[in-house]
Amino acid sequence: SSHEHKLNFRKSKEACLGYIQDAMLQKQWTKAAEFLTFYIESLEKDFSREYMGPSEIIWRIGTEILCHHSHSSMREFNSFIEQMKTLGVKRYLKVCLEHVFHLLCNGLIDEAYQNLSLAESWRFGEQTAIQDKEMKLIQAYRGLLDYYSWSKQKNILLEHGQDGFEDLSVEQEMHSCFRKAAMNLKEIIKIPGVWDLFVKCYVDLLEFYGDHNEARQVLNEYAYNSKFPANPNAHVYLYQFLKRHGESKKLLVSTLKILHDIAPSHELMIDFNTMLQKSKKRKKRRLGLEVIFAALDYAGWKENVKAWSCLARQMKQIVISQKHLDWIKQEWNSRKDWWPAFHFSRYLAKRNWQENESLSYEKALVAGILLGKDCKYFKYVSHQGCKAQVKRFRILKKFMNRHNPVYLKISG
């Protein structure tokens, strides 16, 4: 509370805003609404010089309150938004768009579609050109909803097809939705940006109608055009498409390589490693090791059994063949300072053993190779495993006994 005794309109409204924000942060929607009623008169005095004027503030705050207040209804919300649309012509399309999002979140697809169509037909002198980006978005979302309709009709047709029915009208409508959707989706993905949803839907449409070339081109553009922001998903979609269409391993690997570069912790790294391990080329296998080590650098992978088993398998294979130990050495070099505490502490040994035996097995194998059979992790897990008379742990123990000196070579 300020003990400022000079009070004027501006300060009074700033204070009011402070109370609104506090109430909102504490989710006291009734209180927020109460203070908002006192703030609203700022509308009659628009600070057009300010970065965010009262009309925008009221729009955003009012939306929040109406979203969360228990007594608020969709009808009230709609009426409020319609008023907001008239408040600032420079924001018109933005308000429309957010209104549509809200309708979609509440499952009112048809209303959303109507609003999008209405917004699309809006024209306002030079504002139309200035708000071009928002307009494109509006068209894109309408395209998305068209896709959604198309999808529904497609499913209906497929069902009917199974039952032996033929429905011409549904088919026609479906094609019409396709045309509308395709047109709008195609437009938005030309603009550099992150359009995952639109791209996926567009590709789906293209694939259905057999235009694989176009689909491939779209995905390539999306992934490789440098004007577009780096987006791991772009590469994922491309990879999935190529895989679907039985493309060569070489192509798949090159696609995933980029994914590894930009998102080393992506879940596809397991597939990638698996692919690389099987390769005949040495370079690829080397890369595989790099990939799996890199993935396990991330905390989210700590308990991923599949990942550990990939690493374990590859390392075991290397140890047995006695070839390329230097690969492990290279990878371990930058990790030997922190992986022991990160993955192989005694605490983790206990926890892993209690919660997930397979995990502890794979990890023990890796730990044994990297740190020797006397390291905390291996010792504990191996001991527990043998005590419990689990066969594979006995085998593991024997294996480690045989290959123990390896870790010395690795840690160098």
Partner 1 sequence: RDFNERCAQCSEVNWGLTDGGRFYCRSCHNVTERTREVVNTEFISNTRVQTISKGSRRQEKNDGACEWYVCEGFQIVLKKQAEALEALGVCPQMKDEILCNFWKCYLQKSKQAYCNRPAGETVKALSGCDSSTDVDSEPERPSVLHFLSLSESDGDLQTDCSFASSTSRVSESTSVYSGSVDGSLYFTKNEKDKLRMTMPMTLSFCYMALLWLREPMTLSDLLRYVVEGHVPYLNVFQHFPEKMKLCGLDLRIFCVESWPVYEEVHNKMHELAAFLDLPRFPDITDSCFLHPDMLCMKYLMEANLPDELHNWTCRVVKKIGIGEADFLTLVPGNKSTRKVKYDILAAAVVVVVLKLLFLLDDNYEWLLSDFAEERSKNSKEGAPYFEFKKWYKVIKCTVDAEQRKLDEKRAKYLWRCEKPLFYSAKKKSKVLKRRQMTVNLQNQFGKLSGSVRPAEKPNPSSFQLSWSEENTDGSCFHGHSLEGILQEKCGLLTAMNTDYWLCTVKLCKEKLCGHLGHYSEVDFPQSYHFVLRLFSFLLRIQPSYIHDEVCLIEHKLFNKKLCKKPKYKAVLRS
Binding site for partner 1 (CB under 8 A): 1-10, 12, 15-16, 18-19, 29-30, 33-38, 40-41, 43-49, 58, 62, 65-66, 69, 71-72, 76, 79-80, 83, 86-87
Least Å distance, CB 245 to partner 1, is 55
For residues 66 and 253, which CB has a smaller minimum distance to partner 1 in the complex? 66
Least Å distance, CB 79 to partner 1, is 8
Least Å distance, CB 122 to partner 1, is 20
Q: How many CB atoms lie within 10 A of CB 166?
A: 10
Least Å distance, CB 84 to partner 1, is 9
For residues 58 and 311, which CB has a smaller minimum distance to partner 1 in the complex? 58
Structural tokens at position 225: 């055009």
Q: Is 58 strand, coil or helix?
A: helix
User: DSSP assignment of 343-406, as one string?
Assistant: H--HHHHHHHHHH-HHHHHHHHHHHHHHH-TTSHHHHHHHHHHHHTT-HHHHHHHHHHHHHTTH
Least Å distance, CB 15 to partner 1, is 4
Least Å distance, CB 21 to partner 1, is 11
Least Å distance, CB 77 to partner 1, is 10
For residues 10 and 175, which CB has a smaller minimum distance to partner 1 in the complex? 10
CB 196 within 8 A of CB 231: yes
Give the CA-trace dihedral at 208, 211, 216, 221, to 10 degrees. Answer: -110
For residues 29 and 202, which CB has a smaller minimum distance to partner 1 in the complex? 29
CB 186 within 8 A of CB 206: no
Give the CA-trace dihedral at 287, 293, 299, 303, to 10 degrees. Answer: 110
For residues 6 and 387, which CB has a smaller minimum distance to partner 1 in the complex? 6
For residues 30 and 333, which CB has a smaller minimum distance to partner 1 in the complex? 30
294 CB-side CA count, 13 A: 21
For residues 4 and 163, which CB has a smaller minimum distance to partner 1 in the complex? 4
d(CA 81, CA 319): 67
d(CA 244, CA 230): 23
For residues 58 and 252, which CB has a smaller minimum distance to partner 1 in the complex? 58
Chain position carrying tokens 């650098």: 297
Tell me the C-alpha to C-alpha distance, in Å, between residue 8 and each of 5, 43, 71: 10, 16, 34
Nearest in space to 202 (alpha carbons), one of 189, 220, 191, 221: 189
Least Å distance, CB 228 to partner 1, is 41
Question: What residues have CB less than 8 Å from 13, skipping those under 6 apart?
Answer: 39, 42, 54
CB 288 within 8 A of CB 279: yes
Least Å distance, CB 188 to partner 1, is 34
For residues 15 and 390, which CB has a smaller minimum distance to partner 1 in the complex? 15
Distance of CA 378 to the CA centre of its chain: 36
Residue 229 has what DSSP assignment?
Answer: P
